[in-house]
Structure 1
Amino acid sequence: MTLNASILQMLETNNIHYQLRDHLPKQPASSASTAGCLVKSILLKDSQGSVQVLLPWNFILDLDAVTTEFSRNLKAVATEDLRAALNHAGLSAVPAIPQWQDCTTLVDSALLEYSTLWLETGDHEQMLEVTHDDFCAMIKAANIARIGNQAPELPQSSERDSAQISASVQRFTQLRIKQRLEDTLELPPLPATARKIIQLRANPDADISDLTDIVELDPSLAAQVVSWAASPYYSAPGKIKSVHDAIVRVLGFDMVLNLALGLALGKTMTGSVMNEKQVAAYWRHAVCIAAAVEGLVTSIPREHRPAFGMSYLSGLLCNFGHLVLADVFPPYYANISRHLDANPHIQSSAVEQNIVGVSSCQIASWLLETWSMPNEVVTALRQQHNPNFQGEHAEYAHLIYIAEQLLARKGVTNRLPAPIPKKLYESLHLDPETAETTIDNVLEASSELNGIAEKMMG
């Protein structure tokens, strides 16, 4: 890939000396190192126009600090608008080049502490290496202030999650949130339908009629299962008229069991602070990840495959913690959402923890564990952002991680992709090229999957 003409012109006009690098630099083990820093670029907007923000790769942009420093009430550019702008420019990411497309540029002052800086050029890979002095020359027309904070290091163990959730709640007691965790969460008990399905799972003599009876007790749930089976995604011959049809002719016992469980849990949260667009986005994401995980599992040699039902359920519930977080901290949900949108380069759990002191993964796994959900699913949700996790049931978390990153590479999610360690593919006995093809196949059916997701909101 050659440098964009406008970038070349800016470099030549300012007499900037640089080296072109083809690979991302290895980030220093110590966050205190000032030897070098990868610079991320974020595009925001308000009523005054578009703004570009440059900050260290591991910093969370503080929108409130931006408002204080520059009197700009900024928010993230809509994903579809950003994608259109990048496609028009022939890029896959916002270049970390000051005044890109003549935007006003804000620079986090922490970048001035580094002797070498690597600036992304727009493809997530190639970058410019410049010295401190040359970078200062590039940002001479920019506005500089401390507008970011280093992302918190996420705890990798679930052993202290309950204590951390309690500490997070305590943090808000002065804001009229109750002290005791049990009172503060105010979460409903495990829904009756989900409880019956879990009991059914443990019954070795359970059959199709038992599952049909449970699902049909909830007319809304039954309608969703039938709609799922009747969707063009499965191309089932004839008309699907009942839950029994959905099980026998299309989805199978295991799929309906886990689908019904995932839907029942999703309906548990009130979503009172989420607007219709956010609820729709939740279900689109859930359905897409579930389909991607489903495809990845079938791509693994049969003798090495994780349990299909557990894998599918983990994918369907992967973002369940976001619903829980909205119910636990409703006054702060809007603030969490706008910072998630404005920091696509930072892991979502780190953004959440920075604001409320706990991540959605932590709180979801804690809740599912109290509901006696399968350990495979609890572990998958807790460790889905941790590619280094090697404990029991790690394969379920790794499937979600790979699905998320491959979809992010295709621009499907609103997070920027993270590297997929080779060891993850090896541990799952999954071929990387086959995985890429699987995701492409899933995306070919995106309109059908979106149709399914729309029905999940009922």
Structure 2
Amino acid sequence: MQYLNRQGLSYQQLHHDRVGTLEAAIEAAKVVQDEVAVAEILVDAKGVVMSITPLGKKMDLERLNQMTRRNLQRIAQHQADRLFKDCEPGSHPPVAKAYGVHAVCDETLFSKQQIYIQSGSHTTLLRLSRDCFQQMMGSALKMSACVCTKEYKETPDEKAEAACASFDIKERLNKLYRLPPMPTVAARILQITQDIDASVDDLARIIEQDPSLTAQVLRQAGSALYGYRGEIKTIKDAVARVLGFERVSQIALSIAASKAFDLPKDGPLGLRNFWKHAMHCSLLVQRLAFHVPDKRVDPGMAYLAGLLHNFGLLLLGHLFKPEFGMLNKLAASEPFTELATLEKQVLGMGSAKELVGVGHGQLGSVLLEKWQLPEEVCATAAHHQEKDYEGEFQDYVALIQLANCLLKELELGDDLMPDDPLVYTRRLGMDADITFEVFEQLKQSSAALTDLAAGM
């Protein structure tokens, strides 16, 4: 309101009881929804843009980016709150000039006799005349109705169609491309994990047949991360004294399985960053799993899902080297663009022309199913790029998404596109304060995890 006062723009305040959402405020103030303008913050490498639309509509980013030659993406509400520092969280006045940013505006708003906007407080709306609203918009870029669309929600029929499309993708991949078999050592370790009568001796015997794998497992056990100060000479020592049967088998399985791929080490999607992210994610999801209500998530299975959920990147680099190289460069130059968006630009080109619309998640799930990994792991790989996924293993998917969201703070993961961790804590029914406490503890182990990843 201070900005409006300084500009000499008149407005009327509509006070109402304190509410938690704009929709509730509109109902309390008896305002017509079509006359309400809302702000949404978009970002790309060039900076911030405020999108101003009627409530219930959003900018079509694909069309907007084509018209503006930008690569704008949406950010989460808690990230947008940082721009509106003088406002209550979630109350964002659509006054771009007050915050020093450019604006794009749905042109239909300019024809309204009056416009209602948030004031920055959850107890007050502001009403502006058409002339005052137009003055407030100033040099905002007007967008036609074709660029502004109603908020979209997937219908049950569309979800069923998506499931059929996923099946078609698996069929197409298996027919057109030669998927690598699981390495022999990895396959034998997997068999051991599924054998209830298997012993530590059985596991050690398999791992010790591969000297490099043995060295990596022993290095894991000797890490400062686990705080064991004694000497660890054998795989049996690593199991009995430090890591346990499940952890050793999972680490060994992941390392052995990754040997099926030939991938560049450098770049945001290269092997170095793959393992750095995988090591952080797996430990974080395991620790978070203990705080999911009703024991809905098994911590050990969550750890394995964290290690393997991005295996599709390895398969992508193995099958389609030119496309992977291009994707790796794009990810480096556009870190604040979702990887799923970049994949749509690259997949469908060259030798990957049959994979239009397929992300690395679905690619990885096809391979992990072929290798007969647990259903929870396959589902997590398949759906971790889907923000609103609902299904049998949705808790595992949401937990991976929560971990990936938090790890962006450490600049780890597929991309650095801001996300809201509270979306996932609410979905999982987790205490947000405990979640952030677990993450803070993990951050203290980040150096040790990074050191371990460097040797893989």
Q: Is the 8 A contact 1:34 1:113 kept in 2?
A: no
Q: What is the one-letter code of the residue matched to 1:416?
A: P
Match of 1:235 in 2: 227
- C-alpha change, 1:75 and 1:34, in structure 2 (3 Å) is closer
SS in 2 for 1:365: helix
Q: 1:112 Cα shift? A: 3.8
Q: Is the 8 A contact 1:271 1:323 kept in 2?
A: yes
Q: What is the one-letter code of the residue matched to 1:417?
A: D
Q: 1:375 Cα shift? A: 1.0
Say whether 1:333 aligns with 2:321: no
The separation in 2 between residues aligned to 1:219 and 1:132, in whole angstroms, is 76
Q: Is the 8 A contact 2:35 2:116 kept in 1?
A: no
- C-alpha change, 1:144 and 1:112, in structure 2 (3 Å) is closer
Q: Is the 8 A contact 1:290 1:313 kept in 2?
A: yes
- C-alpha change, 1:240 and 1:266, in structure 2 (3 Å) is same
Q: Is the 8 A contact 2:221 2:243 kept in 1?
A: yes
The separation in 2 between residues aligned to 1:267 and 1:60, in whole angstroms, is 42
- Structural mapping, 1:176-191, within 5 Å: 181-182=173-174, 184-191=176-183
Say whether 1:447 aligns with 2:447: yes
SS in 1 for 2:305: helix
Which deviations, in whole Å up to 9, do the C-alpha atoms of 1:235-293 show, x marking residues without a partner? 11124344333222211110111122223334433334x73443233322222211111
Say which is worse superposed, 51-60 or 261-270, in terms of deviation.
51-60
Match of 1:40 in 2: 41
- C-alpha change, 1:381 and 1:140, in structure 2 (3 Å) is same
TM-score using structure 2 length: 0.67
- C-alpha change, 1:182 and 1:392, in structure 2 (3 Å) is closer
Q: What is the one-letter code of the residue matched to 2:138?
A: K
Number of matched pairs: 401
Say which is worse superposed, 201-210 or 387-396, in terms of deviation.
387-396
Q: Which has the higher contact order (CA 8 A, sep 6+)?
A: 1
Say whether 1:368 aligns with 2:368: yes
Q: What is the one-letter code of the residue matched to 2:235?
A: V
The separation in 2 between residues aligned to 1:375 and 1:398, in whole angstroms, is 15
- C-alpha change, 1:446 and 1:127, in structure 2 (3 Å) is farther
Match of 1:315 in 2: 306
Q: What is the one-letter code of the residue matched to 2:428?
A: Y
The separation in 2 between residues aligned to 1:127 and 1:443, in whole angstroms, is 40
- C-alpha change, 1:184 and 1:132, in structure 2 (3 Å) is farther
Q: Is the 8 A contact 1:326 1:333 kept in 2?
A: no
- C-alpha change, 1:135 and 1:294, in structure 2 (3 Å) is farther
SS in 1 for 2:49: strand
SS in 1 for 2:269: helix
Q: Is the 8 A contact 2:285 2:306 kept in 1?
A: yes
From 161, 164, 167, the counterpart of 1:160: 164
Q: What is the one-letter code of the residue matched to 1:337?
A: A
Say whether 1:247 aligns with 2:251: no
Q: 1:433 Cα shift? A: 3.3
The separation in 1 between residues aligned to 2:210 and 2:126, in whole angstroms, is 59
Q: Is the 8 A contact 1:294 1:312 kept in 2?
A: yes
- C-alpha change, 1:12 and 1:282, in structure 2 (3 Å) is farther
The separation in 2 between residues aligned to 1:132 and 1:263, in whole angstroms, is 64
The separation in 2 between residues aligned to 1:265 and 1:148, in whole angstroms, is 46
Match of 1:278 in 2: 269
Q: 1:321 Cα shift? A: 2.7
Say whether 1:261 aligns with 2:263: no
SS in 2 for 1:435: helix
Q: 1:232 Cα shift? A: 1.7
Q: 1:119 Cα shift? A: 8.9
Say which is worse superposed, 406-415 or 430-439, in terms of deviation.
406-415
TM-score using structure 1 length: 0.67
From 280, 295, 305, the counterpart of 1:304: 295
- C-alpha change, 1:90 and 1:163, in structure 2 (3 Å) is same
